[in-house]
A and B are shown apart, each in its own frame.
Chain A
Amino acid sequence: MATKLKDQTAAASEREAVTVRFAGDSGDGMQLTGGQFTQSTALAGSDLATFPDFPAEIRAPQGTTFGVSAFQINFGSEAIETAGDAPDILIAMNPAALKTNLSALKPGGLIIADTGEFGPRNLKKAGYEENPLETDELKDYQLVAFDISAQTLESVKEFGLGNKEALRSKNMWTLGLVLWMFDRDRQPIRDWLHSKFAKNLDIALANEAALNAGHAYGETAEIAQGLGRYHVGAAEVEPGLYRTVTGGEALSLGLVAGASLVDLPLFFGSYPITPASPLLHTLSRLKEFGVTTFQAEDEIAAICASIGASYAGQLGVTSSSGPGIALKGEAMGLAVMTELPLVIVNSQRGGPSTGLPTKTEQSDLYQALYGRNGDAPMPVIAARSPVDAFDCAIEACRIAVEYMTPVMLLTDGYIGNAAEPWRVPAIESYERRPATHYAGEAVSPYKRDEKLARVWIKPGTPGLMHRIGGIEKNADTGNIDYAPANHQKMTDIRQAKINGVADTIPDQGFELGGPDDDLVVVGWGSTYGPIHQAVKRARRGGAKVAQVHIRHLWPMPKNLGPLLKDFDRILVPEMNTGQLKTVLRDQFLVDAKPLNKVSGQPFKIAEIGNAIEEALS
């Protein structure tokens, strides 16, 4: 938790955690600035969590409120699991950025504003009658306003760039200033600039000059402008090798690792959709790992091609977001029916329909569990954080192959874009379970092992020619069979097979607390961070509250029912209108109470904290 930002001595003040929000026009490079600041924070050893908050429009008109792009980072010397409830520092590159982000700022928080952008035109576009930097509108905050634009132009003068191009370095100037505030090493950023602009030395040098100038400005302007310096220590963490990773990166790497652990080439069929596309981008650069990527003509073709690849013996993976997952529904049923391995990744976003493409939500749980025609059971697992996406991807690949089934892996826009430090695991620490393609004596394609998984016979295998398809098949011969008893039998087998997945998943444990507590807060997916922090704080305050976070949403861990039944009070915070709550009630007849938020923004710790307090009162 950040202490108050009141002390502004020249000496760096010590903090446990600070939240900084960079906000500017979508053309101002705020995501890049935030990303580099994240890298620098990680190198300084602090724990961190980030929250990139993009506008829906690709390039909204300059200066407008709907074109504001923001990047929030929370970092500290204690464990950080959320991007922070309210920023301590807001960097507002223009009036629109100030307007849209001010309400989030902590009372007494620091605003750094670029006066160069607060001209009449931009003020009007943001809907300001008067310049808020000059009225007393910001009197409850600390304001440090100066002409960053002019400072930037001055710093890159020697490179003879045009005005527009020169102003592009504004973000680096600002970053230099912020690096100074947090006493950070500039060298990694310089290195990055030179590798990014390797082909354009002038641009690299100009950006470096801006970065240095921003930093120098901090030194010299310190007393006069009232800018403080802060020191956030390194977090107490497990020893090991660390890097920062976004959920999108962790998921891609996890899929590559997951395919490698089952010893199969990875086939990734996808169609561009926000916020799932980064997976396709990342995987398409990893061909040397036996990855084939296929950008299909639509969502249906993407999953069908993946099913085709699995049929031919590879590990098919497809990925999308809610609307695309809806289109894939029928093909998922085909994968269920033909019992082929497949991983379906859903990077959830706000819905229904097109909904809020760039905002986060976890409202596709029903869709994942139930969104297919017929009785079509399918394992569903959900990642709780960017780092967790790596393990979840490996787990999804394992289940798909071991049980010959499609598996749905849920993540969301927040996890996909957010970054956190990752203690890089040793690949040997994961169990290798090589897949086998059957090539023995003639058998029925529905011959099953003890887990009820059918044999995987790939075309090209002599003597084992057979036909599969979406029509019901005879349980013994694999030929078409509509007989009532056979359909009953096949439906039961499909169900039993998926229920059996519960035999190979870990028991549900407590994240915090235990069975003796009075209240259990149950979550899934990306609400992990705020729930964990809220429960931790409540416990510090003496509350008897426990936390349970579910990774395996279908089938659920075998002990989950008994575990929950021990509690009289169950609180389920979700970024939907209560989907897990309903599933828990249905599965275990427990009195689960919902806490719902569907604003497109992650939960704040305080929101969950208040609900805990209320539930216990």
Chain B
Amino acid sequence: MNDMTPTKLKAADFATDQEVRWCPGCGDYAILKGVQRTMAEMGATPENTVFISGIGCSSRFPYYMETYGFHTIHGRAPAIATGVKLANPDLDVWIVTGDGDGLSIGGNHMMHLLRRNLDCQVLLFNNEIYGLTKGQYSPTSRVGTRSPSTPYGSVDAPAEPCAFALGSGARFLARCIDTAQKQMPDILKRAHAHKGASFVELYQNCIVYNDDVFGAFTDKKESAHTQIWLQHGEPMLFANGEKGIALDTETLALKVVDVKDGDWQAAGVRVHDERNKVMAGLLIAMRVPDFPVALGVIYENPAPSFEQDVRTQNVEASKGKVVDLEALIKKGQTWEVNQKKLREV
């Protein structure tokens, strides 16, 4: 449907006339720009595109997209999206959520959306903090995070969004960084092309309450060593090709190996296989400084989508049945009363 657009729209055509209200310098601006650019590059049809969000800074997103948009309630965007998509599978549904919205209050819905494999894109803006409510620690905050609600530091272990998604049965997993404008459109296009639920974690900097929390791997100067952009079928190399990711077959753990003279095979560097779920689990868990952070499309393994299966079953179950409301309400054992004064004694 998208390729039927007569005139090609520009990124700016996907912006509304509403003033964007995020804090100056917030990572959300970059993501908005990246998404609008992606829409234009994909030739998306605004009227067939729906952005659905929950509550939080990121959830203001739909107001800034010149598409259909539904800013719902905290954590429930996946549930609303499920109804939208079941009612009209032709719509292109994008869910915008955050670490609190998608993994705390809405964690249950997220899990079920992913396992059902509803055809949609989930953009989870992870900033490891509750921004809109003024800076409390979130379910992705690292242990020891000091915040208004944890003045002595948080003590609970954080959730890892991609591991959660993988465990929930997600069949498309990708990661990106707010400022990675070069890679973002391609990753979002891949997510869009994937039929089923696509889960994209976007590391988003909250300049006000959690500035630079991802600095250890987002800092441009060090990024060659701290980031690995995965490509299906390509060796997993980073540090300008001087290092790679290999598998220790003894411990079944990943390790970083040095690559001499570009001979990655000799170094045992593995080729990225998006279909490999076990590897996806290992790649997700890589942390700086021991490892680079895995970015790009980590896992993809398509399967029939939920709304399609529901539709198919509805059609199958209806086959050969007569749609007669009158007959339906008369079903079962009935009897006729002929005259009003009936009294058989």
Contact = CB atoms under 8 A, between A and B. Distances in A.
A236 B84 contact: no
Contacts of A465: 46-47, 66-69
A576 B48 CA distance: 49
A77 B334 CA distance: 18
A344 to B, nearest CB: 14
Contacts of B82: 294, 296, 301, 304-305, 308
Interface stretch (A309-317, A528-536, A588-596): A309-317
Interface stretch (B191-199, B232-240, B321-329): B321-329
Interface string B284-324: 00000000000000000000000000100110011001110
A243 B83 contact: no
Contacts of A269: 83
Interface stretch (B30-38, B72-80, B145-153, B274-282): B72-80
A255 to B, nearest CB: 12
Most buried by A among B71, B79, B85, B86: B79
Interface in B76-133: 76, 78-88, 90-91, 108-109, 111-112
Given A288-B317, A330-B73, A239 B339 contact: yes
B342 A469 contact: no
Contacts of B109: 297, 300-301, 304
Interface string A464-503: 1111111100000001100000000000000000000000
A233 B83 contact: no
B329 A294 contact: no
Given A238-B337, A467-B69, A470-B71, A311 B330 contact: no
B342 A45 contact: yes
A300 B310 contact: no
A241 interface: yes
A244 interface: yes
Contacts of B329: 253, 257, 390, 424-425, 427
B249 interface: no
Interface string A245-269: 0000000010011001000010101
A560 to B, nearest CB: 31
Contact of B70 (A231, A253, A311, A463): A311
Nearest to B326: A427
Contacts of B85: 308, 312
A242 interface: yes
Contacts of B69: 465-469
Contacts of A571: none
Nearest to B330: A424
Interface residues of B, number: 66
A307 B342 CA distance: 48
B3 interface: no
Contacts of B325: 256-257, 260, 289, 427
B50 A467 contact: no
Contacts of A42: 333, 335
A239 B337 CA distance: 5
Contacts of A468: 69-71
Chain B interface helix/strand/loop/mixed = mixed
Interface stretch (A98-106, A161-169, A453-461): A453-461
A287 B317 contact: yes
Contacts of B55: 470
B336 interface: yes
A460 B323 contact: no
A309 B83 contact: yes
B87 A296 contact: no
B335 A301 contact: no
A58 interface: no
A311 B317 contact: no
A424 B334 contact: yes
B321 A312 contact: no
Contacts of A144: none
Interface in A387-414: 390
Contacts of A287: 313-314, 317-318
A606 interface: no
A323 to B, nearest CB: 17
B18 interface: yes
A6 B87 CA distance: 62
Interface in A63-85: 77
B342 A459 contact: no
A334 interface: yes
B264 interface: no
A238 B18 contact: no
Contacts of A334: 72-73
B327 to A, nearest CB: 10
A224 interface: no
Contact of B314 (A292, A310, A459): A292
Contacts of A237: 337, 340, 342
Given A257-B329, A289-B325, A479-B18, A239 B63 contact: no
A226 interface: no
A467 B79 contact: no
B76 A300 contact: yes
A458 to B, nearest CB: 7
Nearest to B52: A308
B345 interface: yes
Highest count of chain A CB atoms <10 Å: which of B47, B74, B341:
B47
> Which of A287, A304, A316, A424 has the most B CB atoms < 10 Å from its CB?
A304
A1 interface: no
A306 interface: yes
Interface in A22-56: 39, 42-43, 45
B326 to A, nearest CB: 5
Given A242-B335, A287-B318, A469-B62, A292 B86 contact: yes
Given A237-B337, A253-B329, A288-B321, A459 B91 contact: yes
A467 B47 CA distance: 12
Which of the listed residues A308, A426, A427 has the most CB atoms from chain B within 10 Å of its own CB?
Answer: A308
Interface of B: 16, 18, 46-48, 50, 52, 55, 62-63, 65-74, 76, 78-88, 90-91, 108-109, 111-112, 310, 313-314, 317-318, 321-323, 325-326, 328-345
21 contacts: A42-B333, A43-B333, A234-B343, A237-B340, A237-B342, A239-B340, A242-B336, A267-B83, A292-B87, A301-B108, A301-B112, A304-B82, A307-B83, A308-B52, A309-B86, A311-B84, A426-B326, A462-B47, A467-B65, A469-B70, A469-B71
Interface of A: 14, 39, 42-43, 45, 77, 188, 231, 233-234, 236-244, 253, 256-257, 260, 265, 267, 269, 286-290, 292, 294, 296-298, 300-302, 304-314, 316, 330-331, 333-334, 338, 390, 423-427, 458-471, 479-480
Question: Top 7 nearest A-B pairs by Cβ distance?
Answer: A308-B83, A469-B71, A305-B83, A304-B79, A467-B69, A312-B87, A288-B318
Given A234-B343, A289-B328, A331-B76, 14 more contacts: A233-B344, A240-B336, A242-B336, A243-B331, A243-B334, A286-B328, A294-B86, A298-B108, A308-B86, A313-B87, A330-B74, A427-B325, A459-B84, A467-B70
